[in-house]
């Protein structure tokens, strides 16, 4: 059995950043990185791909180009974690033992988590930027009017703002192409508000009103019927046992029983339900019950496992009360790295803490973006330098340029190289 000082599970943003920063700090560390994929994807640009303003090919690069020098790439699937024996089992390459483990495999799309999704996705107007953004743009180009419905599940999802970003872009696209007056743009979400941070919610609510977007809070999708081209929702407002108000005649929705709503669609974009990979959710390292069940049980400030001190976790798979974004990982990775290095040298943690920072570049149309930055408890946490130059809670062309050109450059050339 091969042994490493540090085993990293996952070669996405989190795993590569941690491995790269560790090697830049301490080049003699023995690190094995377990990642099966040959391709590395820059998924934040998929919103723009879905709107026809970014090339999908430019979001894909060879994984081999970003494995840090001196790190062993174990090109295989992790399938088992035994935290008591400090061993990771893989599909083909056998077992690997470790002194320290970094768990960052990301999450997976649960296409069976919503009845009808697997059968309907990718055809007849049912699309998702999470799985195939190029098809989303096909749907936009072929749309002739009717109900354009945008929704998301009640599970945690990566980039919680993504389902509404494509909605704003689609609305703008319909306007530019002369079919907006024949279109109902609907944003149906299990959430209670359009966005959790007040300053940014104020801007988004204004946009929704000005652009006549139909906002439906408390709507949890429960089934898609691709034959009838309808999506079923459960009205989930806490403490209320029935749908409030009457059926919305504009969009021909129908209320069935006490809490079920059926809405016809001509275009349906959704984020699929999402979950931790099975080898994670079936392991001892996750919360076994409660609201974080199935996600890795870490201290939300140090990112060290709450029961196994030689394990750290970050990125989408960690149970952290903040948005699952690449921007969050950018702040999490240095905390994991500093704590690991200090633990190796002194058997104690560093003073560095993660405060829950995440950001959501909310594209609100072609050439317009609001940069929502926040930390734990939905407290606004905007960059002090940027904030002096502009109000990032308002739509800005400069923020659109950052999203389209600046952030991809920083991702490939700085973040993945361990330089930030």
Task: Pick the closest to residue 9 from 69, 82, 84 (CA basis).
Answer: 82
Q: Give one DSSP letter per residue of 95-157, joined into a string.
A: EEEEEEEEE----EE-TTSSTTHHHHTTBTTEE-TTT-HHHHHHHHHH--SEEEEEE--SS--
Q: What is the three-class DSSP state of 374?
A: strand
Under 8 Å CB-to-CB from 380, ≥6 apart: which residues?
A: 197, 198, 199, 200, 373, 374, 393
Q: What CA–CA distance (Å, rounded) separates 387 from 401?
A: 17
Under 8 Å CB-to-CB from 181, ≥6 apart: which residues?
A: none
Cβ atoms within 10 A of the Cβ of 62, count? 11
Q: What is the three-class DSSP state of 126?
A: strand
CA angle 292–298–303, rounded 5-degree value: 135
Q: Give one DSSP letter per residue of 270-307, joined into a string.
A: EPPPEE--HHHHTSTTBB-SSTTBTSB-B-TTT-BBSS
Task: Pick the closest to residue 197 from 322, 303, 105 (CA basis).
Answer: 322
Q: What CA–CA distance (Å, rounded) separates 118 from 364?
A: 29
Q: What is the three-class DSSP state of 38?
A: coil
Q: What CA–CA distance (Å, rounded) separates 300 from 320?
A: 6
Contact present, 221 and 188 (Cβ < 8 Å): yes
Burial class (CB in 10 A: 0-12, 13-18, 19+), 315: buried
Contact present, 33 and 6 (Cβ < 8 Å): no
Please identify which of the residues 159, 167, 243, 271 carries the catalytic annotation: 159
Please identify which of the residues 34, 317, 343, 360 carries the catalytic annotation: 360
Q: What CA–CA distance (Å, rounded) separates 138 from 124?
A: 11
Confirm whether 159 is a catalytic residue: yes
Task: Compute CA distances 323 → 128, 157, 338, whole Å.
Answer: 19, 8, 22
For helices 13-25 and 326-346, angle between their N-to-C axes, nearest 10 degrees: 40
Q: Find the distance separating the first CA and the last CA of the chain, reported in whole Å.
A: 34
Confirm whether 127 is a catalytic residue: no
Catalytic residues: 159, 360
């Amino acid at each position: 059995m091969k042994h490493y000082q540090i085993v990293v599970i996952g070669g996405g943003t989190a795993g590569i950043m941690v491995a790269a920063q560790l090697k830049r700090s301490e080049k003699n560390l023995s690190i094995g990185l377990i990642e099966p994929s040959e391709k590395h994807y820059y998924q934040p640009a998929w919103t723009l791909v879905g709107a026809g303003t970014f090339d999908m090919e430019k979001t894909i690069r060879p994984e081999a180009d970003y494995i840090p020098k001196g790190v062993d790439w174990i090109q295989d699937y992790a399938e088992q974690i035994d935290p008591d024996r400090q061993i990771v089992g893989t599909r083909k390459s056998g077992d690997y033992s470790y002194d320290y483990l970094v768990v960052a495999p990301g999450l997976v799309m649960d296409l069976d988590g919503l009845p009808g999704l697997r059968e309907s996705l990718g055809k007849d107007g049912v699309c998702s930027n999470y799985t195939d953004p190029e098809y989303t743009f096909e749907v936009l180009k072929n749309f002739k009017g009717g109900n354009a419905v945008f929704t998301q599940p009640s599970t945690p999802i990566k980039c919680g703002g993504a389902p509404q970003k494509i909605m704003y872009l689609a609305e703008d696209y319909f306007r530019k192409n002369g079919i907006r007056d024949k279109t109902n743009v609907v944003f149906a979400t299990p959430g209670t508000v359009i966005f959790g941070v007040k300053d940014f919610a104020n801007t988004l609510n204004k946009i929704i009103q000005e652009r006549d977007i139909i906002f439906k809070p408390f709507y949890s999708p429960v089934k898609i019927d691709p034959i009838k081209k309808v999506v079923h929702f459960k009205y989930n407002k806490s403490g209320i046992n029935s749908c409030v108000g009457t059926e919305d005649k504009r969009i021909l929705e129908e209320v069935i029983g006490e809490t079920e709503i059926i809405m016809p669609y001509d275009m349906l974009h959704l984020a699929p339900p999402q979950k931790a990979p099975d080898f994670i959710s079936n392991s001892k390292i996750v919360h076994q019950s409660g609201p974080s069940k199935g996600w890795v049980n870490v201290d939300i400030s140090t990112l060290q496992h709450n029961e196994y001190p030689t394990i750290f976790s970050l990125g989408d798979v960690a149970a952290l009360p903040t948005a699952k974004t690449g921007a969050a990982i950018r702040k999490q990775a240095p905390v994991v790295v500093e704590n690991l290095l200090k633990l190796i040298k002194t058997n104690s943690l560093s003073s560095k803490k993660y405060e829950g920072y995440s950001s959501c570049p909310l594209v609100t149309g072609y050439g317009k973006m609001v940069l929502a930055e926040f930390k734990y408890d939905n407290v606004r946490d905007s960059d002090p330098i940027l904030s002096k130059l502009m109000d990032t809670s308002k739509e800005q062309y400069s923020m659109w340029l950052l999203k389209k050109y600046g952030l991809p450059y920083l991702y490939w050339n700085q973040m993945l190289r361990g330089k930030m």
